[in-house]
A and B are shown apart, each in its own frame.
Chain A
Amino acid sequence: MLDAQTLSMIGKGIIETLYMVIVSTACAYAIGLPIGLILVITDKNGIRPCPIISKVLGFIVNLLRSVPFVILMISVTPLTRKIVGTTLGTSATIVPLVIASAPYIARLVESSIKEVDAGIIEAARAMGTGTFRLIYKVLLPEAKPSLMVGGAIAITTILGYSAMSGFIGGGGLGDIAVRYGYYRSESDILIVTVAVLIIIVQGFQELGMRLAKRSDKRS
């Protein structure tokens, strides 16, 4: 059935997938987290209302989010070539993954931060907390459990995107599924790949939820 070669290929696929997903998630958070914070803070009911910034940023986020991933993936190839030097393989896939997921993460972060009780923010402001310290001493720590849940959702979504990128030679498990399962109809390889993907998704989901629950001191 599955020989050693196939298994090692799947093993390599797992590592590639994890590499793509983890690096993409990290980069996407580096962009999405600040954008999410800016969206909350500059909102008309925010701490430093600035409708122009919040509207423009919100528009860009919505625009990017409304482009289906497959189309985005193809349309950013020129940019990918500029940044990575190639459009094939795992590193090249990270570019569209980040561009697609950063706005999604910005919205996840925005909604987590908005969950922070307005009364707590008011108390912090009454104690003389400025905007910057409000963010890292109040908003982020208080929203931590919710941000972690968001993180689990983001990482599984990015995993899904990364599998889709198999169609353009993105590497990883998605690539294997497309090459063997789809083009060659080797259904046992397809099944194993899908099973591994499911396990990884469930694993991240479970881990994220558990960490979130453990870190939450509200209950």
Chain B
Amino acid sequence: MDINEPIISLRGVTKVFNTKESEVDALIDIDLDIYQGEIYGIIGQSGAGKSTLVRCINFLERPTKGSVIFDGQNLGNLSLKELLKVRQSIGMIFQQFNLLMQRTVLRNICYPLEIAGVPKKEAKQRAVELLEMVGLTDKINAYPSQLSGGQKQRVAIARAIATKPKVLLCDEATSALDPMTTRSILELLKDINQRFGITIVIITHEMDVIETICDKVAILENGRIVERGKVEDVFVNPKSNAGKRLVFKSDEQFSEFGSEKVYRIVFNGQSAFEPIISNMVAKFKAPVNILFANTKNIGGKAFGQMLIQLPEDRIITMQMLGYLEERAVRYEEVTQDA
């Protein structure tokens, strides 16, 4: 396969659900290319069509129109048997984990290997390795009901990558988990992506998740992709209203802008975690209005972003920006489009 060919390619994918009462256009004319090794985020509010989109990628849902190309094969042209084979090279994890409740952890991980026809002994060996990788060796004979949410998702991840798939689809995989567990699961996913080069598609309604591990993001709204690009770019300057809503968590903040310049400052782990704004205010003795802040301290480094209003005075503003630059904080003026 040409390295420049996307591993997943959707063209004009439309999905209409016909219910008794009405027709629902869950997806409308979706074009999407995802390349080998990427962590691609798809974000949108509940009902936007995210689950439908991800289920079209492995053809659990057949698009009403359009084509899905996976690894060079047009899924619409495959026989059922060929499709089942393709699904073995696409792992999937879910919000509700969906482990087999009557099987032990070990036998859950063996399940996809059984389906793929791997000999029992070999399957068990692989399952043991995977359990070690996700740090649950001691739970080998436990049943899912005896595990915490985070542990269940680790088992689900081990199960999903057991057959060494090329792609891992994650549908709201961290939405049922607390923030700490979410972070550890995201770290595990990142680790898997780097170690095995597995392409990961992350579906979520939380911007935090996208920020934390995705390379690229597409914003889905009412069945359409309204914005897409590198995570940094979409973050620094969301263009669509849906994008602004997701980044700023609300529309309102934009209308508050007066004549003062608004800057977005992005902490990408380059700078130390310190009360940088209050230090700046103390130093320049000029007010700074924080419109929005979402920062985290990860290992002493600052991650996240803020939206601040700097004083009208151009000189102080310039000095403040210089101060930020010294501290390796990225910033950008926010343009207000109507």
Residues of A within 8 A of B (CB): 117, 119-120, 122-130, 133, 137-138, 141-142, 144-145, 215-219
Give 25 A-B contacts (CB < 8 Å), ordered by A residue: A117-B101, A119-B98, A120-B98, A122-B98, A123-B94, A124-B100, A125-B60, A126-B58, A126-B60, A126-B90, A127-B87, A127-B91, A127-B92, A127-B163, A128-B86, A129-B115, A130-B84, A133-B115, A137-B111, A141-B102, A142-B102, A145-B102, A217-B143, A218-B143, A219-B145
Partner of B92, one of A123, A133, A138: A123
A112 to B169, CA, bound (A): 30
A133-B115, A217-B145, A219-B145 in contact; A126/B92 too (CB < 8 A)? yes
Chain B proximity of A8: nearest CB distance (Å): 45
Known: A127-B88, A217-B102. A122 touches B94 (CB 8 A): yes
* A137 CB contacts on chain B under 8 angstroms: 111, 114-115
Residues of A contacting B112 in the complex (Cβ-Cβ under 8 angstroms) = 127-128
CA distance A127 to B87 in the complex (A): 6
Contact A138 B58 (CB under 8 A): no
- Residue in A122, A127, A218 whose CB lies within 8 Å of B101: A218
Once the chains are docked, how many angstroms separate the CA of A151 from the CA of B91?
Answer: 36
Asked if B101 contacts A142 (CB within 8 A), the reply is: yes
Q: Does A217 lie within 8 Å of B115, measured CB to CB?
A: no
Shortest distance between the CB of A140 and any CB in chain B (Å): 10
User: In whole angstroms, what is the CA distance A124 to B87 when docked?
Assistant: 10
| Of listed A120, A128, A215, residue having the most chain B CB within 10 A | A128
In the A-B complex, the 4 residue pairs with the smallest Cβ-Cβ separation, listed nearest first, are A128-B87, A123-B98, A126-B92, A217-B143
Q: Which of B239-264 contact A (CB under 8 A)?
A: none
A119 to B98, CA, bound (A): 5
Query: Which residues of the partner chain B approach A215 to less than 8 Å between Cβ atoms?
Result: 102
Q: Is B80 an interface residue (CB 8 A)?
A: yes
Q: Name the residue of chain B whose CB is nearest to the CB of A123.
A: B98
- Asked if B116 is an interface residue, CB under 8 A from chain A, the answer is yes
Chain B contact residue count (CB 8 A cutoff): 32
User: Does B139 have its Cβ within 8 Å of any Cβ on chain A?
Assistant: no
Indicate whether A142 sits within 8 Å of B100 (C-beta atoms), given known contacts A123-B94, A125-B60, A128-B116: yes
Decide yes or no whether B222 CB sits under 8 A from chain A: no
Q: Which of B81, B90, B112, B159 has the largest number of chain A CB atoms within 10 A?
A: B112
Instruction: Specify which chain A residues have a CB less than 8 angstroms from the CB of B58 in the assembled complex.
Output: 126
- Please report the C-alpha to C-alpha distance between residue A127 and residue B111 in the assembled complex, in whole angstroms: 9
Q: How far is the CB of B174 from chain A (nearest CB, A)?
A: 16
In the assembled complex, the CB of A154 is this many whole angstroms from the nearest CB of chain B, namely 21
* Most B Cβ at <10 Å: residue of A127, A137, A142, A219: A127
Give Cα distance in the complex from A125 to B88, angstroms. 10
Which residues of the other chain, A, contact B94 by a CB distance below 8 angstroms? Answer: 119, 122-123
Distance in angstroms from A51 CB to nearest chain B CB is 14
Is B151 an interface residue, CB under 8 A from the partner? no
For residue B165, give the distance in angstroms from its CB to the closest CB of chain A.
9
> Nearest Cβ in chain B — how far from A50, in angstroms?
15
A120 surroundings in chain B (CB, below 8 A): 98-101
Distance, CA A138 to CA B114, complexed state (A): 12
B327 interface hit (Cβ, 8 Å): no
Question: Which B residues from 94 to 126 make CB contacts under 8 A with A?
Answer: 94, 96, 98-103, 111-112, 114-116
Q: How far is the CA of A17 from the CA of B16 in the complex (A)?
A: 57
Check: B296 CB closer than 8 A to any chain A CB.
no
Known: A123-B94, A129-B115; 9 extra A-B contacts, CB below 8 A, are A117-B96, A119-B96, A120-B99, A128-B115, A130-B84, A137-B111, A141-B103, A215-B102, A217-B103
B100 touches A127 (CB 8 A): no
Query: Which residues of the partner chain B approach A216 to less than 8 Å between Cβ atoms?
Result: 102
Min CB–CB distance B123 → chain A (angstroms): 13
Nearest residue (CB) in B for A117 is B98
Give A115 Cβ to nearest chain B Cβ, in Å. 11
A141 touches B100 (CB 8 A): yes
Q: Which residues of chain A are within 8 angstroms of B144 by Cβ–Cβ distance?
A: 217
B75 to chain A, nearest CB (A): 13
Q: Please, which residues of chain B bring their CB within 8 A of the CB of A144?
A: 102
User: Which of B58, B84, B91 has the most A CB atoms < 10 Å from its CB?
Assistant: B84
Contacts of A127 in B (CB 8 A): 87-88, 91-92, 111-112, 115, 159, 163
Nearest A residue to B58, CB-CB: A126
Given contacts A141-B103, A144-B102, A217-B145, contact A126 B87 (CB under 8 A): yes
Q: How far does the Cβ of A219 sit from chain B's closest Cβ, in whole Å?
A: 6
B96 to chain A, nearest CB (A): 5
Report how far A24 CA is from B62 CA in the complex, Å.
44
Give every chain A residue within 8 A of B111 (Cβ-Cβ): 124, 127, 137
- B85 in the interface, Cβ–Cβ < 8 Å? yes
Nearest residue, chain B, Cβ from A219: B145
| A129, B115: Cα distance in complex, Å | 6
Which chain B positions have C-beta within 8 A of A142?
100-102
* Per-position binary interface string of chain B over residues 144-160, scored 1 when its CB falls under 8 Å from any chain A CB and 0 otherwise: 11000000000010010
